[in-house]
Every structure is written in C-alpha cells, then in structure tokens.
C-alpha cells in the first residue's frame, strides 16, 4: 500500500510538472510583453524630451530580430512596395534608372529599360529632368525624385526635360506602366551547339521564361546547355521546383523542408512533364549563388542530371514565409530549413560567421556529413553546394572596385553618350568566342586615355591593396609608439608602394576596359548588349567550355 501511495504521488507530481513546463514559454512571453509595455509607458510619462516613438519602435523591432537570423525582418506598410519588388520584380513607373549627383542639381536619365514608357516617349541616357509634374527636382534627393516618377499604372506624369544632344527644353508626358524586370536577363547561342541562359532571380513565372528560352535555343540547334546561376540570390521556392521539373522525370523529389512543428514539414516533387531529360546541362555557380539557386543546383546534382561548375555556393538553406501584422505590416520570418533530394541541408553551419563576400568559410570534413546521389556519387553538407568541377574565381584590383563603387565608370559612360550619338553595334558578340574579325564595339587606346584624364579629376580612393594595408599598419604602429623608431624603414616602404593615380589607371587598363565597354553598350543597346560584352571577357565560362571540350 505504501508503494502504491508513493506511485500515485509521483504520478500527480508528474502531471503538475508537465503543464508548468509547457506554460513556461508562454509565461516568459507574457512577462516580456508586460515589461515592454510598462517600460514604454514610463518613458512616455517621464522622459525629459518628446519621445521619438516611431524611431525607437523600429529600432527595437530590428534589434530584436537581429538576434535570430539575417532573413527574419519586419516590413512596415510603407515598405510593402519594396517587398513586392523583391517577390515579383515589378512596380508602377516609367522604367528608367536615374542618377542625381547633387541634391540641388537636376535628375539625369541614366538608363531607360528596353520597351519601357521612358523609351517609348523618347527619354534617353543623358536627358536632364528639370521638373516632375511641375515640381523642380532641385532640392529633391534621388529617392524623392524616384518616388515622384513612380505611380499607378495608367496614370500620367509630366517631365520638363533638357535633351542631351540638342539642349532643347521640352515637356514630355509619360503614361506609367507596370514595369517588370525579367529574371532571365539573357539567353543565346555561344556557338553552333552550345546554348546559354543567364538567370538572376526566382520571382513569379521565371520557370516559364526558362522553359521558353530552353525550347527556343533547342530549336536553334542547342546540344548542350550552360545555365548560369552565378550571383543569383534566389527567391520563390515554388519557381525553383518548376525549373527542376523541366529537366527530370515527373514525380522526382526536388526538395523537402522541415520546421519546428510537423505542419512545416513538406516534400516537393515535380508535377509537370519535363521538356528534356537527356541534354547535357552545366550549371554555373559561385559564392553569390544562394537559396532557390542552391535548391536547383543541389537537386540537379543529387539527381545526377547536371554538372555543377564554379565555386562553392553561398549556403542559405532557410525557408521564409510572409506573415501579416497589424497596421498592414508584414513579417518575413524563417519557418524551416530545406534539404536536397539526397538529404543535404545547404545551410551554413554558422550563418553568423562568413567570408567578407558573405560566402561560407572553410568547413572541415569532420563537421560535415556524407550523402549519396542517385548515381552513387558522394556529396557533403555543411554549407552551400560544392561544385563537381571548380573554376577559378576572377579577382579584381582595389582600384577597379573603387572605380565601380564610386560610380566613376558609370559617370564617364554618361559623359561618353553626351558626346557620341551612336557606337558600333555589339550584336556580333553573341558568339562570345568567335575569333574571326568582327565589328564589335571596342573601347580603344585613345578613348581610354580620355577616361584616364576624366578619372584623374575625380575624387576617389585609388590606393592599391598593399598601400591600404601599409597605411593601416603605420597607423597601428603609431598607436603602439613604434613608428618613430622605424621611420626610415616605413618611409622606404611607402615610396616603394607609391603610385600616382594615372600610373595605376594605365597599369590596370585591361582590367578596367571591360567595365567601361559594358556601361557604354547598355546605354545604346540595352542590358542585353551589356551582357554580351560581359561574355566576351568571362574567363570562368571560357574555362568551363574548355573543360567540356566546347571551346
């Protein structure tokens, strides 16, 4: 009886403990909300100055979410259009990139999109926007100017424009449209049998665009596809599944996801008939290939349907969902991790510690797990998709990065356009590696000398990486009190590293010219021409073609 009594008491204690534990999370949540509410009330009543509620509200929300993962973010009502742009790359407007170097200056049309209202109504690179709907652009920021240009499709906006070549000032009335920026930015034949598709995102209907591009290339004689996902940051998981569906048998597993409850566990299989299950496919990836791009490349690798070439991918294996919040806000929240068909999770083991470019750092095999493709090949998890064949990553000098980041090349391209009404076509560069004589647009020596003189007059950091490191080292030595004793050695090293701006620009000529050619080409022949120019100098693609014996 005594034993039975203790058994009953133990059972009752267990029943009491379990609900208490189950309620602890809810209790802590309620406690936190109560403290937060009381704190705000006390601040509102007692703080010495007027309480900046909007600012501290947003700062508090952002700080809270920063303690989770990089992709869980709060989106207030005023940023919903940015969310829609992220999801489907569309907005209401005129379809042009603008440039405003000075808040008190005019807006410049930098680059109108092909087929956009801006192009249809005659706006072109270099045109100056003096006023928007009667409001002077002087005193407006670039963002404020852009907001005035945007609006509901079907509405009109009136610009006072100073034309780039004639100098005439005219009124231009533009009818806004729904502007959609395609994810398949380019496709074409690299040679008689090799097709190429460049995809830069995974927004709505991109799978259909890939399908159309593939069929068009196939009709032109494509026998091998190079599918370029380099720098593709991902997007909609559903579109990734549809793209894999194009190339594998119906019913194949593409990806699965697992969250913190059973309702988040799902397996995604192909539900459509494929367009081709045999044509050789090479998927090009790099450290900027992320999320949905990794789902596609990982699935095609696990199903032994494609050869993955390039560098290890970014390592984002997290799935986000959009949840509504009060006052039309939204929460983009990580709800699950996804897994490739072999069972790999591509999420980096620690997403808080990455290389400078955001990519996954070195992960020892002891921290990863081995998986097997359908064909029996060994693959590993631990962060990103490791390519089947590594391609050398192209590196650029600090000078070139500085020219790009500071907009020097972009600004020069606009100056170039104002002085040249036309350039030689670049369409011939579609066959990127044809060695026959061509009439491609080229930026020659004389023109580069003009660029050097222009860049010399611009204010930007032109130091070499070695000189920048030297300056950091010298500063640290001065802090440590060691610089004076090493003054002669430091001065000798400084002189050895010294190179004036013109010298450095001439030294890096071959590295800089491709960027200039691309910026100029897009302003005459749209983005397609810029990509064609880029292909001309794509060493990684050239290496991939060589390894496949296609070049």
- Looking at residue 437, its pLDDT comes to 47
- Looking at residue 432, its pLDDT comes to 46
What residues form DSSP beta bridges with 99?
A: 108
Q: Is residue 144's pLDDT more than 50?
A: yes
Distance CA(466)–CA(492), nearest Å, equals 14
Between the ranges 195-204, 263-272, 357-366, where is the mean pLDDT highest?
Answer: 195-204
3-state secondary structure 484-521: HHHHHHHHHHHHHHCCCHHHHHHHCHHHHHHHHHHHHH
The separation between CA 397 and the C-alpha centre of its own chain, rounded to angstroms, equals 21
Q: Is residue 178's pLDDT more than 70?
A: yes
C-beta of residue 318 within 8 angstroms of C-beta of residue 71: yes
How many Cα atoms are found within 13 Å in the side-chain-facing hemisphere of 99?
A: 20
Share of the chain above pLDDT 70, in %: 89
Polymer length of the chain:
551
- Looking at residue 9, its pLDDT comes to 44
- Looking at residue 13, its pLDDT comes to 45
Distance CA(136)–CA(171), nearest Å, equals 13
- Looking at residue 23, its pLDDT comes to 60
Return the active site residues.
291, 302, 316
Higher pLDDT, 101 or 330: 330
Stretch 80-92: mean pLDDT, rounded? 78
Q: Is residue 492's pLDDT more than 60?
A: yes
**Residue 354, number of CB atoms within 10 A of its CB:** 17
Residue whose tokens read 């691309």: 518
- Looking at residue 101, its pLDDT comes to 82
Distance CA(470)–CA(484), nearest Å, equals 15
- Looking at residue 11, its pLDDT comes to 44
Stretch 277-306: mean pLDDT, rounded? 96
Among 455, 452, 420, residue whose Cα is nearest residue 125: 420
**pLDDT tens column, 351-387:** 555 666 656 666 666 677 888 999 999 998 878 899 9
**pLDDT tens column, 518-542:** 999 999 999 999 999 999 899 999 9
Higher pLDDT, 293 or 69: 293
Residue 438 binned pLDDT confidence (cut-offs 50, 70, 90):
low
- Looking at residue 270, its pLDDT comes to 94
Higher pLDDT, 14 or 215: 215
Extract the tokens encoding 83.
């969310």
- Looking at residue 375, its pLDDT comes to 92
Average pLDDT, whole number, for the chain? 88
Stretch 452-481: mean pLDDT, rounded? 93
Q: E strand or H helix at 54, and its extent?
A: helix 53-66
- Looking at residue 202, its pLDDT comes to 95
Q: E strand or H helix at 245, and its extent?
A: helix 237-245
Higher pLDDT, 223 or 336: 223
Q: Is residue 22's pLDDT more than 60?
A: no
Q: Is residue 219's pLDDT more than 80?
A: yes
Stretch 479-497: mean pLDDT, rounded? 91
C-beta of residue 258 within 8 angstroms of C-beta of residue 339: yes
Distance CA(50)–CA(160), nearest Å, equals 42
Residue 17 binned pLDDT confidence (cut-offs 50, 70, 90):
very low
- Looking at residue 33, its pLDDT comes to 87
Higher pLDDT, 260 or 291: 291
Categorise residue 251: left if φ over 0, alpha if ψ from -120 to 50, beta otherwise.
Answer: left
Q: Is residue 234's pLDDT more than 80?
A: yes
Q: E strand or H helix at 99, and its extent?
A: strand 96-99
This prediction has a pTM of: 0.87
């Amino acid at each position: 009886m005594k034993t039975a009594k203790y058994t009953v008491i133990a059972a009752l204690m267990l029943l009491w403990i379990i609900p208490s534990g189950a309620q602890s999370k809810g209790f802590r949540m309620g406690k936190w909300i109560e403290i937060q509410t009381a704190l705000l009330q006390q601040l509102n009543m007692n703080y010495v100055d007027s309480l900046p509620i909007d600012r501290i509200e947003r700062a508090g929300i952002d700080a809270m979410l920063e303690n989770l993962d990089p992709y869980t973010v709060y989106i207030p009502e005023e940023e919903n259009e940015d969310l829609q742009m992220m999801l489907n790359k569309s907005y209401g407007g005129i379809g042009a990139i603008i440039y405003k170097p000075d808040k008190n200056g005019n807006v410049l049309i930098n680059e109108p999109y092909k087929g956009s209202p801006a192009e249809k109504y005659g706006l072109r690179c270099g045109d100056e926007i003096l006023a928007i709907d009667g409001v002077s652009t002087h005193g407006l920021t670039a963002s404020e100017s852009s907001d005035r240009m945007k609006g509901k499709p079907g509405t009109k906006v009136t610009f006072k424009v100073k034309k780039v070549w004639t100098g005439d000032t005219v009124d231009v009335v533009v009818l806004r449209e729904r502007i959609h920026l395609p994810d398949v930015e380019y496709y074409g034949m690299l040679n008689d049998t090799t097709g190429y598709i460049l995809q830069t995102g995974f927004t709505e209907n991109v799978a259909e665009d890939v399908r159309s591009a593939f069929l068009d290339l196939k009709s032109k004689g494509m026998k091998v596809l190079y599918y370029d996902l380099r720098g593709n940051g991902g997007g909609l998981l559903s579109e990734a599944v549809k793209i894999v569906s194009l190339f594998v048998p119906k019913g194949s597993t593409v990806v699965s996801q697992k969250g913190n409850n059973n309702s988040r566990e799902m397996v995604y299989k192909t539900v459509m008939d494929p367009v081709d299950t045999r044509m050789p496919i090479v998927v090009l990836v790099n450290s900027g290939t992320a999320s949905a791009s990794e789902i596609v490349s990982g699935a095609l690798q696990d199903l032994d349907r494609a050869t993955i070439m390039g560098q290890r991918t970014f390592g984002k294996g997290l799935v986000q969902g959009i949840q509504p919040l009060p006052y039309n806000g939204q929460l983009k929240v990580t709800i699950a991790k996804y897994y490739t068909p072999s069972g790999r999770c591509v999420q980096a083991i620690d997403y808080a510690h990455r290389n400078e470019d955001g990519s996954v750092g070195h992960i020892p095999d002891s921290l990863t797990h081995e998986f097997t493709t359908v064909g029996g090949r060994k693959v590993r998890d631990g962060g990103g998709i490791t390519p089947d064949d590594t391609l050398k990553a192209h590196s650029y000098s600090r000078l070139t990065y500085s020219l790009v980041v500071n907009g020097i090349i972009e600004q020069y391209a606009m100056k170039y356009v104002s002085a040249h009404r036309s350039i030689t076509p670049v369409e011939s560069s579609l066959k990127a590696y044809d060695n026959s004589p061509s009439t491609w647009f080229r930026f020659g020596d004389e023109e580069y000398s003009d660029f050097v003189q222009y860049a010399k007059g611009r204010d930007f950091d032109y130091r070499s990486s070695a000189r920048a490191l030297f300056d950091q080292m010298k500063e640290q030595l001065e802090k440590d009190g060691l610089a004076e004793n090493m003054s002669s050695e430091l001065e000798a090293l400084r002189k050895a590293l010294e190179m004036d701006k013109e010298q450095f620009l001439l030294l890096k000529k071959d590295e800089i010219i491709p960027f200039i050619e691309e910026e100029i080409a897009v302003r005459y022949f749209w983005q397609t021409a810029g990509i064609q120019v880029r292909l001309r100098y794509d060493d990684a693609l050239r290496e991939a073609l060589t390894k496949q014996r296609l070049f």
